[in-house]
Each structure stands twice: as C-alpha cells, then as structure tokens.
Amino acid sequence: MNVSKQELYAGRRAAAMDAMLAGGAGSVAVLAAAPVFIRNNDVEHDYRQDSDVFYLTGFDEPDSVMVLLADERKFVMFVRPRDPEREVWDGARAGVEGAVANFGAAEAFKISDFATELPKLLSNKSRLHYRLGRDRGFDERVLAGLEATRRRGRMGVSWPTEIVDPGAILHEMRMFKTSSELESMRAAAAITREAHERAMRATKPGMFEHEIEALLLETFRRGGSERVAYGSIVGSGPNATVLHYRSNNRKMESGDLLLIDAGCEYGYYASDVTRTFPVSGAFTAPQRAIYEVVLEAQIESIALTRAGQTLDDVHKKSVEVLTRGLLTLGLLKGDLVDLIAKEAYKPFYMHRTSHWLGMDVHDVGAYFIAGKHRPLAPGMVITVEPGIYIARDNASVAPEWRGIGVRIEDDILVTDGEPVNLTDGIPKTVGEIERACA
Ligand code: GLY
Ligand code: MN
Ligand code: MN
C-alpha cells in the first residue's frame, strides 16, 4: 500500500481513537474481518472485506482481526501467516510482517494466537468496543477472551466492564464523506452511468433480461469496478413492479418497460441507480403519464436534499407529488390531503424514498437522533428513488395501467448549498430516454 493510502487509514484510526477516548480512558476496540461464506460444497462466495475493517485499514484478507488500543494509540492486527504452499492456491497474503510493514500495525500476530493474546489486550481496560450479535461464532471468541481476562482478576488485573457498539463512532464517521471517498463514489457513478447508457442503447424486443444484466456486468468490470454494489435488478413488463426482482430471465417484448436498478462498487464505494425505459424505444401514453409523475417526484425530492431537511421531508415530498399525480390520472379518487393522510398511495408506492449510501449500498449511520428524523448535513450521500408500481392484477384501476412499474433513482450529495447529483447525466427525461434508446 502506498504512503498516502497508509496515511489516510492512519488518520481514520486516529480519529476513531480520539472519539473512543472522549468516552473515557481504557478503551479498546475489536473489529473482525468479514467471514468467508460457503456457496456450495467447497466453493466459496466471492470475498468482500467488512466495510468497517476496510475503512480503517484497507486490509482485504479474511481470517483477520484488528484491535485498536486508544490509550496507547496503537493498532494491533491478527492475520493469516505467510504460507507459500497455501499461497500457491489462494494468492499472496500480507502475513504478520506485511501487516506491520504495509498496513501500519504496531504489532501483528498470527490469527491462531488470538485466543492467547486477546486477554492481554483487554487487561486493565474498562470499555470494549465490539459489535455483539453479528457473528455468533466470533462473539464466542471475544467473550472467551473477556472471561479469561476476568479470571486474571486475582492477579490484580481489571477488565472491561462495558461492551459498547463501535458503530456509534465508526458509522458516524462513515456518514460524512471526505474528498477521497467522494472521488471513489464519483468513479463508481461514472462506470454505472456508462452501464445504464449502454443498456438503453442495446435493449431491443426479443432480447432476454439476462443479456442486459450481462452487459451491465461487463461494463462494470471493464471500467475497473471490483463488483456490483448489490444484485442487479433487470425487470421488464410486469417484473418492473416486483421490488426485489432478481431472476432476470424473461424475454422482453415490444410495449414493455424495462426497470434497471444496478450500480457498481468502486474502491469499496457503492453507486445505486435506477432507470426505467421502453424496450421498443418509445413510451406508450399510460407509461409516459406514470413516468412523468415519478420524474416530477424525483426532481422535487432532490431539490429538497439540503442541509437541515430530513429524509422524511424528502420522502413526504415524493409522496405528495406521487399522490397528486395518481389523483390527476384517476388512479386514486378523493381529496389530496385525505389520500395522503390515509396512505392511499401505499398500493402504488410501498417503499421509502431514500437511504444512506456509501461503502454499503444501504449504508450505516443513525437515521434518527433522540427519536427524531435526523437533519441532513454536508457530506452525507443519500439516494432519492421514488416509484409507482401498479400490480398486473390490480383490479381497482383501468386495464391500461396494470403491470406498469417505474422507479427513478440517483445518488445525491448534501452540501452547504445546492444538492449535487453524483449520478447526473444518465438519460432521465422522456426526451433524453427516447433519444438514448433510439
Ligand atoms: N438497489 C437497492 C436499493 O435501491 O435500495
Ligand atoms: Mn437505493
Ligand atoms: Mn437501487
């Protein structure tokens, strides 16, 4: 790892340790690498490091643990040792030496030494920052270390009497994107933009959804993205109304809309984009009417994505514009205020409008503070993704509306002024889309 990267991670660790000490002396944090998941028999799922561990170290190997000793301002790593024979099969490891030389650990141990070393690291500490309940197997190992430390009490050793969630510190840090993080998010956005544009140009009646999924993946990997940020949704016709549609195996027909919710990850940062466009290149009148309502909701909600507003304000704006549109088109009947109060839009719009975005597509960070919707602040990135989904068997609407699904999603950076659309420039108006599809 180059020096500037090392400094970047060291700076984050220093900030995390400052925050730990602000809660009192004797603070230690234990963070485990993501486990390897078996796919079937001896085949593993592609490995991706835990976002918190990567955020603080840039270390991407499994079977590792990092321990932050805030008082000593020290960082200790447990890693897989070098093993030339294994490395022939699995690739190079940093090893104990590399953890110190390249990743800034003050000391490093073999992961097999974790059980004997952990009680020493917990000795005479008062607070353990550890996320319980996420990995029960690893919980056991941490709790065993804690118990072994308690057993040293007779020798005058004290032990952590509090276990607190490190998310309170790390996830708060991760909410506010620095310029280097935004650089990665912009790179992810640029590759994702190209993928959506290519999909619009390539889609033709008679093609299968999976052909377009393949084109998205090819664009991501060719652009240098390491992986998708989440499984791509490529849903045509009535599949566009299935929120988490993943089969991507239907043959697309003229007259269908195609909803693509796909984004790549770049440098461990996600993009999350949805576009909906006609397979034949031209919207039908009902499709276009629905599309225009969703587009207006999205544009007005993005305009509200400003410091001081909340995700609930952004959501309420989408709900208002969508409900008014459904009323104007005759899909809902009654009084606007009443329909919103009764949540009459719910059969058509059943999800929220936004989530935090960052290293994780549904990124970490508190949505509420003291029970209240948290105000947006500069450096936060959110999605804005309203939609209208009319089930194909919705007998309460005229047949021409049934089976139409539209979502439009962009990634928006909150600043101290205007919102910045990181995924700007992907065709979005009816005119832009019909030109891109032509
Ligand atoms: N692609 C996941 C989401 O839009 O939240
Ligand atoms: Mn999203
Ligand atoms: Mn999405």
List pLDDT tens digits, range 130-151. 999 999 999 999 999 999 999 9
Q: Ligand 1, closest atom to CA 385? A: 4
Query: How far from the centroid of its chain's Cα atoms is residue 407's Cα?
Result: 18
- Sorted by where each begins, the domain ranges of the chain are 3-172, 176-437
Q: Which of 259, 260, 261 to mutate to test the pocket of ligand 1 (most atoms within 8 A of CB)?
A: 261
Q: Are 77 and 103 in contact (CB under 8 A)?
A: yes
Instruction: Please work out whether the CB of residue 59 comes within 6 Å of at least one atom of ligand 1.
Output: no
Residue 261 annotated as catalytic: yes
Per-residue model confidence as pLDDT tens digits over 299-338: 999 999 999 999 999 999 999 999 999 999 999 999 999 9
Mention the CATH class of domain 176-437. alpha beta
Q: Are 79 and 99 in contact (CB under 8 A)?
A: yes
Instruction: Please work out whether the CB of residue 272 comes within 6 Å of at least one atom of ligand 1.
Output: yes
Q: What is residue 107's three-state secondary structure?
A: strand
CATH of domain 3-172: 3.40.350.10
Nearest residue by C-alpha to atom 4 in ligand 1: 272
Residue 355 annotated as catalytic: yes
Q: Amino acid letter at 232?
A: S
Q: Which of 213, 361, 410 to mutate to test the pocket of ligand 1 (most atoms within 8 A of CB)?
A: 361
Residue 385 annotated as catalytic: yes
- From 86, 222, 351, 435, active-site residue: 351
Q: Ligand 1, closest atom to CA 355? A: 5
Global pTM reads 0.97
Angle at 180 between CA 315 and CA 306, to 5 degrees: 25
Residue 129 annotated as catalytic: no
Instruction: Please work out whether the CB of residue 230 comes within 6 Å of at least one atom of ligand 1.
Output: yes
pLDDT value of residue 2: 81
Nearest residue by C-alpha to atom 3 in ligand 1: 272
Structure tokens at 231: 């499984």
Distance 272 CA to ligand 3 centre (A): 5
Q: Which of 272, 273, 411 to mutate to test the pocket of ligand 1 (most atoms within 8 A of CB)?
A: 272
Instruction: Please work out whether the CB of residue 411 comes within 6 Å of at least one atom of ligand 1.
Output: no
Instruction: Please work out whether the CB of residue 261 comes within 6 Å of at least one atom of ligand 1.
Output: yes
Element (H, E) at 227: strand 227-228
Distance CA 184, CA 86 (A): 32
* 3 state SS for 394-433: CCCCCHHHCCCEEECEEEEECCCCCCEECCCCCCCCHHHH
Please provide the distance, in angstroms rounded to a whole number, between the alpha carbons at the two ends of the chain.
45
Instruction: Please work out whether the CB of residue 361 comes within 6 Å of at least one atom of ligand 1.
Output: yes
Q: Which residues of the chain have pLDDT under 70?
A: none
Distance CA 384, CA 408 (A): 8
Instruction: Please work out whether the CB of residue 245 comes within 6 Å of at least one atom of ligand 1.
Output: no
Distance 300 CA to ligand 3 centre (A): 19
